[in-house]
Every structure is written in structure tokens, then in C-alpha cells.
Chain A
Amino acid sequence: MSTAPAASASGAGWRQNLGHALMATVLTAIVVTPIFGLHLERAGARTHIVPQWHMVGWACLIVFVVQLLHPWIFGRATRRLPRLALPTLSARQNTVLLTLVLLVAVTWPFFAGRNAVDIATLAMIYVMLGLGLNVVVGFAGLLDLGFVGFYAVGAYTYALLFHWAGWSFWEALPLAGAASALFGFVLGFPVLRLRGDYLAIVTLGFGEIIRLLLVNLTSFTGGPDGISSIPKPSVFGLEMARSSGVEGGTTFHQFFGLEFNSLHMVIFLYLMALLLAVITLWISNRLIRMPIGRAWEALREDEIACRSLGLNPMSIKLSAFTLGAMFAGFGGAFFAARQGIVNPESFTFIESALILAIVVLGGMGSQVGVILAAILLTVLPEFAREFAEYRMLVFGLVMIVMMVWRPQGLLPMKRHHVEVT
């Protein structure tokens, strides 16, 4: 971009520009041909490839023209991207804003459609997972690619407790968190000796092992089919159903004298997800201000210095890993209750990647950023359902663009400082 003014001035710049444009065009042709250019068409039992060269031609032409005019289009525009950052608010303003946001978050589903609330519930689950992984990746700087494993443990804990022992959601929820935390703790022991890339690879492996265990322990977990008809959470013992499952039991709508409406359940699930997400936010917000939060940060900066001061890196890392896993466990149990069915398909690596993308996109360590990114990444695909085929493509593109222009994330972490006068 620094050559832009020169390019407009001299012939040499033109030639260089033309070179760039040609190069970009060739690359486009290579990338685009298999995606747009070759269509598989099925005729009866046979499939043939139908080339659609005009699509490739258009793509190449567009890229060529844009690249050629690149300095004029982007030359000035991209030099200074507006710096998004949260304005600093006083404590009072902060409280008011938080109350307002919460108020809106609690009330809007009562005026919204079923679908929107459903998506919002999903978004809240991802907020929870994002904030959980944020503790591990953002705060403690441990790259965990197997986070979904703990999510699976949470979901299956509830599912299995229900299936084999008939536990209800509320009874199983704390245990789901505890089971995931325990998994995090036990896996953390051998794994956290490793650093950086090695840690990432081993956690990736562990995530897959958990999934494969779930697939293969057929008699216990139901194998690939998973476990179905898991009950939804009750409201203080009141079932949310048309008629009570238990003889003589009272359901929610009977108790309050309401007409039965399946929307109640959807809204209730949303509010619960919101509550869990808010609790997660509150805890992680406290954590970063506590001594353990400072220790995570210090460890991320300089492990050797930490050790020389008597900080045990292992236990500090383990605490982050365990807490992160615990949040995933709560999220998992809720997920199982919402879906009504769990199977290993829901816990593939893509899911880990998505959660990590939320953290990276939002800005590692930045809680508001993570929340925003979680909402964006769950809601946007719903708007663009027609383009579902290209979802991964767009996803990759967004990631690349982010890494080029805003590697620190949407809302980069602002360090919370302890200040004295």
C-alpha cells in the first residue's frame, strides 16, 4: 500500500500493478475452478462433471479489474481503519448500561418469534462456551483445540445420568460441571507440561478420543445414535409440557392457569441459557481481577520469571484448564436438555474450531468481544441460509480478513489494571 502514490505516478508502478493483478487472476482461477467452475450433475446412476467456464471467467475478470485499480480503491480507505474500542465508562454509567442490556435481553423474547428465540438460545450457549474457552486461551494463553471434548462430557453426563438413573436436569447440572472439571483436571496433568503447538496438538487428540469413546462404547452411550428423549428442565418442579408425565403431576401452564403454549418452553430455555451465560460472565469477570487472574497473565508473559518467584506454573495452568472445562460442562448439560438428544456428531472438531474462532474473532481475553463474536457467528449463518453451502468458505474468508486487518480481534482486550493514586 505504501507504493500506491508511486504507482499512480510512474509507468514502472503501472507495470508492477499489472503484474500483481495478473498473478491474482491466475490464483483466482486456480481456487475458483473447483468451486464454481466444475459442477457435478447427476443423471440417473451416473454423475458427470459439467464445466461452467463463464463463472470462472467472471470471477477472474472481477479480481483482475479490482486488483488493477487496487491503489485507487483501497489506497486511502484502508490506511486508517477506524479503531473500534469500547469507550471508557464510569462505574455508574457501566451499571446503567449493563442493567439496560440485561433488561432488553430478558424481555425481548416475549415479543419475538419462536425461531428468533431459538437461535438466541443457541447463541447464548456459544457465549457460555466462548467465555469458558476464553479463560483457557485468552487469560492463561493455553491453546486448547479439544475444548469440545469437555462440552461432550457435560452433555453426556446429564444424558447418561438420566438414561441410567433417571436424574432430572437440575440434579445433573452440578454433576455435569464437576465431571467436566474433573476431566479437565485429569487430562491437564500430563498435557500441560507441553507448550504452544504441542499442547494444541495433544488437546486436539484428546477431544477426538472423547468423541471416539462415545461412538464406540455402544452399550453404555448408545454409540453413534446417542441417547434420545432427554427431558427438558422443569421450572421449580413444574413440568413444561401439555400434560404431566407423572400421574397427578401439575404442569407449568396448569399451575399458572395459562393456556398451554409451546412457546413458553422456548422462552424458558432462552432465559435459562441467558442466566447461565450471565453467571459465566460474572465468574470470569471476577477471575481476571483475582490473584489467580493476575497469575495467569503473568504466566502468559514469562513462565521463567513466575517460577523464580515461587509460582507453581502447573497448578496455575491446571486451574485455568479445569475452570474452562467446567464452563463447557455446564454448557453441555444445557445443550443436552435443549436438544433432547445427544450423539457424538455434535462434538466434532469443527465445533472446537468454531468456539476457538469465537474467542480469536472477539479478541483473546476480551469478554465483550467474545460475547459479540459468539452472537455474530451463530446469528449471521441463520440470515444467510441460502448460502449454507459456502458457509465454510465465507468463514475462512472472514478469518483471513480479520487476521490481516485486525489480528487482535473485534474488541481487543483492555487490561484491567489495579490502580492506586
Chain B
Amino acid sequence: MSGPFLQVADLSMRFGGLLAVDGIAFDVRDREIFAIIGPNGAGKTTVFNCISGFYKPSTGRISLQGQELAGLGSHTVARHGVVRTFQNVRLFKHMTVLENLLVAQHRHLKTSLPAGLLRTRAYRESEQKALDNALHWLDYMGLREFVNREAGNLAYGHQRRLEIARCMVTQPRVLMLDEPAAGLNPQEKKDLQSLIEQLRNQYGLAVLLIEHDMSLVMGVSERILVMEHGRPIALGTPEAIRGDERVIKAYLGEE
């Protein structure tokens, strides 16, 4: 494992008078699975929104392999290879499963207007490549049988997997999952855990994870950041976090 890959330093986010996130600093190493946990309202999703460019942080630096990301637009951040899923799944519900994956590859495609109108060879080839890539990921995720189905009609667990597949077709370097296990049954949670590990091992991703399900978090992540009221209270390996008094206090309350 190499040095810092995704680096977050001194991150704070202020909404008017409310300091939602304050003094967050951590770094995710290459090929690391890193989790952020904390009680509801601790500011985990706000940190996600800052990293993925949906919020412009009030202060702080976010860099990916030395490339500054803070303040770039969300689509630019995604183009640098940092893609995310959402707490409540955001699929293109009225488009088919396949089309969801094709749209995600938009920027990899040859999209020039004349080429598309005349269906040049290069255009058809790039469409075919996108199609193959999409089908590969549907096979990988076990969603192949639903390929022509409208995404909104899939079962919830499948929608979650499709959302991850949609991230993967963009060939990300950092995959950010916002509560990927929410609403899944125990079997699906187990599958999710192995999926996350598999993706990391096969595709060399760094994975950044927000999750409430403790068995998943403890099982899958290498390091964990614990937040409370927008501030970091602990950072370390799952074993260290499990024994940390401040963390226990945050979750169980004072005696």
C-alpha cells in the first residue's frame, strides 16, 4: 500500500450559522476501504457532498494524488475518477437498466454530432464498446436478466447494485458509497460485503464508505473515521474503534 491517495485536510462546511462539518481530516490510501461512521446528523453525507463536489467546502483542501478537487464542479470531480452513489438511490427510473449504464459512459463515447447523424464507423464502434462494457458489468453484478427492464421497476436490492454498476462503468479510481446497505436483507448485505472487497481487489479502487450497519463496516473496512456533531472523534482500525471510549460514549450515551 502506498501513501495518501485521496487526502482531506481541515475540511469545514458552514450553512449560514450552522457549522455542519468542522475540522475533518483524513486520507484514504490507494486500494484502501475506508469507512465514515457516526450517529445520524453527524455530517457524514455533508463530507461526501464536499468531496464529490456537490458542496463547495467553506475551508479545507481535498486532493486526489496531488490534484486539488475542492471547489471543482461535481461533474469535474467525477471526471477525475471520484464517483459516488446516493443514500436514496438515484437511478434514471424511466430508462432501462442498460440505458442507465450507457448514459454513465457518455463522456467516454464519441459523441460528435455529425458522426452520430451519419453513423460513421467510429461512432458505431464506440457505441458497441459502451454496450459491451455495460453488459460486462450487468453480468458481473448478476443483473443481466433485467437488462431491458425499466430501472424503476427493479427490486430495491437490485437497484442498489445497479447504482454501483453505473459508477463502475465510468472506470473510477475512488468509489464512494453512501449507506449502500440501507434497506438490504441480511443475505444481500453479505453479498455487498464480498462485492466491495472484490471490486477493490480486481479493479484497484479505493472505496470510501458511509454505513450504519456495524457488522458490514467492521467486516469490510481497513480504517474507520468516527464523526459526531460534525467533528471527528476517532480514527483507526476497526479493533481500535471498537474499544475507543469516546466512540462508545457517542453511540451509547454517557453513563
Asked whether A305 lies within 8 Å of B117 as measured between CB atoms, the reply is no
B241 on the interface (CB 8 Å rule)? no
**Distance in Å: Cβ of B245 to nearest Cβ of chain A:** 37
Asked whether A291 lies within 8 Å of B74 as measured between CB atoms, the reply is no
Proximity bits, B51-64, A CB within 8 Å = 1, else 0: 01110000000000
B75 on the interface (CB 8 Å rule)? yes
Asked whether B111 lies within 8 Å of A308 as measured between CB atoms, the reply is no
A69 on the interface (CB 8 Å rule)? no
Asked whether B93 lies within 8 Å of A294 as measured between CB atoms, the reply is no
Give CA–CA (A379, B131) in the complex, Å.
Answer: 44
Asked whether A418 lies within 8 Å of B98 as measured between CB atoms, the reply is yes
B73 on the interface (CB 8 Å rule)? yes
Asked whether A297 lies within 8 Å of B92 as measured between CB atoms, the reply is yes
Query: What chain A residues lie within 8 Å of B99 (beta carbons)?
Result: 294, 417-418
Q: A292-B116, A310-B107 are in contact. Are A301 and B94 (CB under 8 A)?
A: yes
Query: What chain A residues lie within 8 Å of B53 (beta carbons)?
Result: 307
Asked whether A419 lies within 8 Å of B106 as measured between CB atoms, the reply is no
Asked whether B95 lies within 8 Å of A297 as measured between CB atoms, the reply is yes
B44 on the interface (CB 8 Å rule)? no
Give CA–CA (A287, B112) in the complex, Å.
Answer: 11
B199 on the interface (CB 8 Å rule)? no
Asked whether A420 lies within 8 Å of B148 as measured between CB atoms, the reply is yes
Asked whether B103 lies within 8 Å of A290 as measured between CB atoms, the reply is no
Asked whether B54 lies within 8 Å of A304 as measured between CB atoms, the reply is yes
Proximity bits, B79-95, A CB within 8 Å = 1, else 0: 10001101000111111
Residues of A within 8 A of B (CB): 283, 286-287, 290-292, 294-295, 297-298, 301-302, 304-313, 319, 415, 417-420
**Distance in Å: Cβ of A55 to nearest Cβ of chain B:** 49
Asked whether A305 lies within 8 Å of B92 as measured between CB atoms, the reply is yes
**Distance in Å: Cβ of A123 to nearest Cβ of chain B:** 25
Q: A291-B102, A305-B92 are in contact. Are A312 and B75 (CB under 8 A)?
A: yes
**Distance in Å: Cβ of A281 to nearest Cβ of chain B:** 13
Which residue in chain B gives the minimum CB-CB distance to A417?
Answer: B96
Query: What chain A residues lie within 8 Å of B84 (beta carbons)?
Result: 308
Residue among B54, B76, B103 with the highest chain A CB neighbour number at 10 A: B103
**Distance in Å: Cβ of A414 to nearest Cβ of chain B:** 12
Please list the 4 inter-chain residue pairs (A to B) with the smallest Cβ-Cβ separation, ordered nearest first.
A310-B78, A290-B116, A305-B90, A307-B74
B20 on the interface (CB 8 Å rule)? no
For chain A, what secondary structure do more than half of its interface residues adopt (helix, strand, loop), or is it mixed?
A: helix
Give CA–CA (A290, B118) in the complex, Å.
Answer: 11
Proximity bits, B100-141, A CB within 8 Å = 1, else 0: 001110110101010011000000000100010001000000
Asked whether B111 lies within 8 Å of A291 as measured between CB atoms, the reply is yes
Asked whether B75 lies within 8 Å of A307 as measured between CB atoms, the reply is yes
Asked whether B109 lies within 8 Å of A291 as measured between CB atoms, the reply is yes
Give CA–CA (A297, B94) in the complex, Å.
Answer: 9
Query: What chain B residues lie within 8 Å of A294 (beta carbons)?
Result: 95, 99, 102-103, 106
Asked whether A283 lies within 8 Å of B117 as measured between CB atoms, the reply is yes
**Distance in Å: Cβ of B71 to nearest Cβ of chain A:** 15
B170 on the interface (CB 8 Å rule)? yes
**Distance in Å: Cβ of B64 to nearest Cβ of chain A:** 14
Which residue in chain B gives the minimum CB-CB distance to A419?
Answer: B148
**Distance in Å: Cβ of B154 to nearest Cβ of chain A:** 15
Asked whether A309 lies within 8 Å of B78 as measured between CB atoms, the reply is yes
B173 on the interface (CB 8 Å rule)? no
Asked whether A295 lies within 8 Å of B106 as measured between CB atoms, the reply is yes
Query: What chain A residues lie within 8 Å of B109 (beta carbons)?
Result: 291
Q: Can you report 16 residue pairs joining A to B where beta carbons are below 8 Å apart?
A: A283-B117, A292-B113, A295-B106, A307-B54, A307-B74, A307-B75, A309-B103, A309-B170, A310-B76, A310-B83, A310-B106, A312-B75, A417-B96, A419-B96, A419-B148, A420-B148
Give CA–CA (A286, B73) in the complex, Å.
Answer: 30
Query: What chain A residues lie within 8 Å of B135 (beta carbons)?
Result: 420
Give CA–CA (A307, B107) in the complex, Å.
Answer: 11
Query: What chain A residues lie within 8 Å of B94 (beta carbons)?
Result: 297, 301, 415
Query: What chain B residues lie within 8 Å of A307 (beta carbons)?
Result: 53-54, 73-75, 78
Give CA–CA (A308, B135) in the complex, Å.
Answer: 21
Q: A283-B117, A415-B94 are in contact. Are A311 and B148 (CB under 8 A)?
A: no
Which residue in chain A gives the minimum CB-CB distance to B98?
Answer: A418
Give CA–CA (A417, B148) in the complex, Å.
Answer: 8
Asked whether B106 lies within 8 Å of A309 as measured between CB atoms, the reply is yes
Interface residue from A291, A302, A304 paired with B116 (Cβ < 8 Å):
A291
Which residue in chain B gives the minimum CB-CB distance to A323?
Answer: B113
Give CA–CA (A304, B95) in the complex, Å.
Answer: 16
**Distance in Å: Cβ of A325 to nearest Cβ of chain B:** 14
Asked whether B83 lies within 8 Å of A309 as measured between CB atoms, the reply is yes
**Distance in Å: Cβ of B52 to nearest Cβ of chain A:** 6
Give CA–CA (A313, B103) in the complex, Å.
Answer: 13
**Distance in Å: Cβ of B5 to nearest Cβ of chain A:** 19
Asked whether B78 lies within 8 Å of A308 as measured between CB atoms, the reply is yes
Give CA–CA (A294, B92) in the complex, Å.
Answer: 11
Query: What chain A residues lie within 8 Å of B106 (beta carbons)?
Result: 291, 294-295, 309-311
